[in-house]
Amino acid sequence: MIIARSRVLWLCVLGAAFAFVSAAPRLLSATAAAAPQSTTTAQRRKAPVRRRRARRPAAQAAPSAARIKEIQSALKREGALTAEPTGRWDAATVAAMKRYQTEQGLNPSGKIDALTLQKLGLGSEIAGKGAPVAAITPAEQNKIQ
């Protein structure tokens, strides 16, 4: 009887141990999901780095009312604009700008660009031209040939 009891006891202990071992992964995962995890330094280092987007270049500022009036006056002087200068970029001004650009052999976009301003006498003298190129001296040209 003692032997039978000890066998039964051992079988109970082994059964309980087996049940515990087989249920351990489920118990551990439930416990891990419920408990908040602390981040270690190594985990923080492995976190993905957020990259900033490249900044867009600043858009060109719209011309002031005074500058628009100056452009309209030049268009009127050239005969492209029939209305009085108002300082507002309206449909009549766009039509006059397209007319002037067509007459000058420019791209008739109706927009203010460097070449149009230059033709109107309002732009830079170097507008629309390439960067300056260094002149080659005759001595340097002889070296090339």
User: CA-to-CA distance for 100 and 106, rounded, in angstroms?
Assistant: 8
Domain boundaries, the chain: 65-119
6-35 pLDDT, tens digit each = 666 656 556 665 655 565 566 555 555 555
| Range with lowest mean pLDDT among 2-6, 53-57, 103-107 | 2-6
User: CA-to-CA distance for 7 and 4, rounded, in angstroms?
Assistant: 5
93-145 pLDDT, tens digit each = 999 999 999 999 999 999 999 889 999 998 776 666 666 677 777 777 777 76
- Which has the closest alpha carbon to 95: 114, 115, 81? 81
Q: 11 or 53, which is more confident?
A: 53
Residue 86 confidence (pLDDT): 93
Which ranges of the chain does DSSP label H, i.e. alpha helix?
A: 2-34, 41-46, 65-77, 91-103, 114-119, 138-144
- 0.75 exceeded by the pTM? no
